[in-house]
Structure 1
Amino acid sequence: MKSFIQKGDVLTFTAPYAIASGAPFKVGALVAIAVTAAAAGAAVEGKLEGVFSLPKVSPQVWAVGDKIYWDDAAQLMTNVTGGTLVGAATESAINASTTGTVYLDGAVR
C-alpha cells in the first residue's frame, strides 16, 4: 500500500522534559511510554500501545476496567477525570500503591 508509513505503536518525539526509560510523558494529545531515557529537547521513542506498570496517584483504589487518565502536572496516572484519557486499568490497585497496571490503547482523544 503506497500510503502506509509505519505501524504507529512507537513514534519518535521531542522529549518535553527529561524522561527516564519506562516513564510516561505527554506531547500534545498523545501520552506515550519512553522506550529509552532522554534529556529535555532530545529525540525519544515513545510506545503508544500496550500494558504497562505505571506511576499512579497513591491514595486511590483502582478496579479492573476503570478509565485511567494522565495528570500531566503531577506526572502520574489517575482514575479521576480531568486529565488525558489514556486507557483502562487491567488489574486492581490498592489505596497505598504507587503503581498501577494500565492498558494504553493509543487513541487520540
Structure 2
Amino acid sequence: MERPLLVYTTFPDVASALNIGEALVRERLIACINVLPGMRSVYSWNGAIERGEEVAAILKTREGLAEALSAALKARHPYDTPIILQLPVAGADADTAAWILAETGLEPETPPAA
C-alpha cells in the first residue's frame, strides 16, 4: 500500500493558504491542508536577516503525488522560492491512511477473498 506523505510549507497569509489548499484538494493532489496562522519567522534571505509573520501549513497526501504536488504548489505559490518539505510518514492509523489514499484518487488495497 502506498504510504501517506506530509508536506510542510509556509504562506504569507491565511487567505492564500486556504485558497491554494482548496484548489489542491479539488484537484485531489491533497486530502487536507491544515493552516496554522500566527507563525513568526527569522530567516536569512539574499544575505540579510529578515523577520516576518507567516502561516504554516501541513498538507496530507501520498508519496506517489510528491512531484505533482510540488509542481502545482510552486505554480500557485506567491513566494518566489516557497519552502516545500516532504516529511515521510513512518506509520499511520489504517483508517487515516485509507482516507488519504481515497481522497487523492487511490483506492486502498483490499486483501483477496479467501
Decide: shared fold, TM above 0.5: no
| TM-score of the pair, normalised by structure 2 | 0.24
The structure having more radius of gyration, on CA atoms, is 2
Query: Which structure dedicates a bigger proportion of its chain to strand?
Result: 1
Q: Which has the higher contact order (CA 8 A, sep 6+)?
A: 2
Query: Which structure dedicates a bigger proportion of its chain to helix?
Result: 2
